[in-house]
Structure 1
Amino acid sequence: MPTSLFPTLRRGDSHPVLQVTKSQLARLGLPVGDAESDEFDRTFDSAIREFQQQRGIVCDGVLGPETFSQVELARFRLGDRVLSFDPVRPMRGDDVAELQMRLSRLGMYTERLDFIFGPQTDAAVRDAQQNLGIQPDGIVGPATLHALSGVVRSGSAGTVFALRERVRLTATGASLAGRVFVIEAGTTPRDFTALHLSQEQADAEARISGDIARRVTGRLTALGAAAITADARSDPRLGDELGAAAVVSITQDHSPSPVANGVATYYFGNSVREQGLSPTGRRLSSFIQRELTARTGFTDCRAHAASWDSLSVLRTPKVHVVAGYLSNAEDARRLADDTVRDSMAEAIVVALQRLYLQGEADPETGTLSVTAIAEATGKTHP
């Protein structure tokens, strides 16, 4: 389903493509109403929102390019079609992610579950076929799936990628010194092109998020870390290129409703493929969310798994921080306060430190300070 061929649709619209989309969502068990109708009614609006929530994308009830893309990924279950590597037009879908999961449980696929049958997946398939006594042609048909089903333990959990991420985290000590962190600011124009900000809104986000990011990098540098500040013009893959320990993106949100307010954090993953998420991203997201709400008094909008392109494009653990709503008068007032932005920066750095603390060394939320970290590590906090 080439998403570029279809318009952006919302409740009240009608279009022939809605019949196809309703059929695909009905197959997933979602209540779409009359599947033969091309009307975008209230029932289908609820189904779209539920689907968006399941897939970890923006839950706005709008059937646009991102949602069409996710509908297409969800179109196939493993076994529905024969899978193989096509370097020109790689196959994508939930069936590919399920295949990657099975191969990962066997220790043969060690990358992130990305729903794409790329070179790494092809190599893992051929390795599995060789070990299972099947012709190693890279073609995943009935014979390969039958053989895989016989050796994958149904009770196994997690992936090799997730295991490696955990091991890398616990084996490197508690200090932030020597680690590389990328702190992004004001990336909404780059990461969410469907959200049309005015120049004034984009400038305000860049100014406020940029100030928080500079305060974060200043603290990290004082603790001996290499902290890089990036913005909407920066390469979204910078964290991978630098071998960063983590990427933190800081933005503000905007809503048509002036009531929307609070802080939220997001990490790579979704409720459909929970085992494919980033365990480090989830843990860091939780720490940042807890520290932010404990130190600033902003409404707690919680930590969420999301499969946004800006999160899935990286192998480096990444957390996207939505630090308040500029469209909300009270949030905007707080964000204009230097002390609030300083508290946000403190919260993010403390959360990064908590990520590397183990067991009894992990203090209660809101009690650890950058000054205490600096004193414990022999650094000088500015």
Structure 2
Amino acid sequence: MHPAGETLRRMDAGRRVRALREALLSAGISMSYLAPDSVNNPDLFDDHVDAAVRSFQQSRGLIVDGVAGPDTLRALAEAQFRFGDRVLALVEGQQPIRGDDVAELQRHLSHLGFYYGHIDGEFNVRTRYAVAELQNNLGIPGTGVCDQDTIRAMARVNRAITPSQAFALRDYERLDRSTAALRGRLIALSTGSSELASPHAVDRLTSRPLTEAMVAADIGQRVERILREFGAGVVSRASAFAGVDGGGERVPSLSLDLHCDWLDQQAASGIAAFYWGLPGTGEARSPIGHRAAILLMKELAARTGMDSLGVHGRTWDTLKLSGIPSVGLDLGYLSNRGDAERLADPVFRQTVADSIVIGIQRLYLLEEEDQPTGTLALDDVFRFNPAEVPEERRVAGL
């Protein structure tokens, strides 16, 4: 594969286009006139390559634009390997191996009950430990390296295993055992940065142009202010991964990414939530992220009155944070007059922020403590956030 940073698009030509054709075929995209030996000029990025790139992007939950940019090329590189094609190991001082073969290994380990992390396709420390534990249970050396001997041993026992989402069950069990309080948790928060101004409205308070950067930052600040009032810590995702805990935890309990949408078709309107999952089937790769997205969408739709565009699984890198449930929220279309006029109102933006905080709080409530959508008030949230949390309900790191 060519370097992930080199973009290819329609009418480009060269040996890299030929390599792109071969990579698409290797990734399982079988379309007419894609194979280099089926066309007169295999080095040309023609309509057939464009269609194949779009098909691949659609299958991976990427933006479907027909351009082989960094995200598409990275996904293509990961799709080149099938389980068993290579030895999988974590080598100190080197970047972890990524690929579809690693994701398949993680699924096998999950089915067997040895792996309960996210199916992220990265051979990280958690994956290595799971492989070593499996090897020890199979009576072979626990090296943590997935080689042919390990694959053969795994195949012998895996035939009798019915696929299940062991990682999902364990995640939910861990969630249910945690404290209901927001106090002491760490929430990672990021906001969109587009400066494209809505033609329909300006901020009612300051008369500033209504942009994603302005709206998302304002709502993010309101969310942060409320969370801190309840004793939670809030950091940017960059700070969280740089080791700045800001609230007693090194790993955030949840990551939120706030955005506004834009479409040339001005009729498009409404709010949507995204979690790490497969676009076609909706299979959740992050069960807690999925649950959080559902609760946040329910509260936002009930309290704001905006059209609900649903909850969707996506494979975006922003949702694939290792070990951290992540939710992306599109809070309306600035290209739509109705959405823009609502988001221009600071009072409405406060309602959005309140809805987000209440959705987060509901994520951590036990079943008997939860309330119907739209009925929990911020004053009620104080009940779940005492100054001290009983020790028997505290689970570290969640």
TM-score of the pair, normalised by structure 2? 0.78
Q: State the match for 2:76 in structure 1.
A: 71
Check the 8 A contact 1:181/1:239 in 2, yes or no: no
**Letter in structure 1 aligned against 2:164:** A
C-alpha distance in 1 between matches for 2:263 and 2:345: 21
User: Structure 2: how far apart are the matches of 1:375 and 1:320?
Assistant: 28
Q: Does 1:330 align with 2:338?
A: yes
What is the alpha-carbon distance in structure 1 between the residues aligned to residue 316 and residue 65 of structure 2?
14
Query: SS state of the match for residue 260, structure 2?
Result: strand
Corresponding position of 1:125 = 131
What is aligned with 1:213?
220
Q: What is the deviation of 1:45?
A: 4.1
Is 1:174 matched with 2:183? no
Unaligned runs of 5+ in 1: 189-196
In 1: Cα distance, 2:293 partner to 2:97 partner: 31
The whole-number CA distance in structure 1 between the counterparts of 2:268 and 2:296 is: 20
| Aligned residue in 1 for 2:9 | 9
Q: What is the CA–CA distance in structure 2 between the aligned matches of 1:362 and 1:155, rounded to whole Å?
A: 33
Q: What displacement does 1:278 show?
A: 1.0
State the Cα deviation string for residues 188-246 of structure 1 (Å, max 9, x = none).
4xxxxxxxx45879993332112212222333334x33141538x75566698633321
Q: Distance in 2 between matches of 1:294 and 1:31?
A: 44
* Counterpart for residue 259 of structure 2: 251
User: Secondary structure of the equivalent of 1:63?
Assistant: coil
Percent of paired sites with the same residue: 35
Q: Report the CA distance between 1:124 and its aligned residue.
A: 3.2
AA matched with 2:64: C
Partner amino acid for 2:3? Answer: T
Indicate the residue corresponding to 1:191 in structure 2: none
Determine the structure 1 residue equivalent to 2:61.
56
Aligned to 1:288: 296
CA offset at residue 171 of structure 1? 0.7
Q: How does 1:246-325 map to 2 (within 5 A)?
A: 246-271=254-279, 277-325=285-333
**Conservation of the 8 A alpha-carbon contact between 1:112 and 1:276:** no
CA offset at residue 126 of structure 1?
3.4
Offset of 1:41 from its aligned partner? Answer: 5.0
Distance 1:295 1:272, change over 3 A: closer
Inter-CA distance 248–9: structure 2 relative to 1 (3 Å threshold): same
Which residue, out of 371, 378, 385, partners 1:370?
A: 378
- Deviation digits for residues 131-181 of structure 1, max 9, x if unmatched? 323344554333221110112344131144x34421221012434344332
- The answer as to 2:157 corresponding to 1:151 is yes
Q: 1:335: how far off?
A: 1.0
Q: Distance in 1 between matches of 2:282 and 2:295?
A: 19
Equivalence for 1:226: 232
Contact 1:93 1:116 in 2 (8 A): yes
Q: Which residue of 1 aligns with 2:86?
A: 81
Range with greater deviation from structure 2 (71-80 or 120-129): 120-129
Residue type of the partner of 2:67?
V
- Please state whether the residue corresponding to 2:180 is helix, strand or coil: coil
- Name the amino acid aligned to 2:111: R
Structure 2 residue runs of 5 or longer lacking an equivalent are 199-208, 388-398
Provide closer, same or farther for how the CA distance between residues 159 and 15 of structure 1 changes in structure 2, counting only shifts above 3 A.
farther
Q: What's the RMSD between the two structures over aligned residues?
A: 3.4
Q: Which moved more, 1:235-244 or 1:308-317?
A: 235-244
Cα 1:275–1:84 change in 2 (3 A) is farther
Distance 2:131 2:196 in 1: 48
Task: Name the SS of the counterpart of 1:320 in structure 2.
Answer: strand
3-state SS of 2:332 partner: strand
Distance change >3 Å, CA 344–CA 318, structure 1 → 2: same
Distance of aligned partners of 1:172 and 1:122 in 2 relative to their CA distance in 1, 3 Å threshold: closer
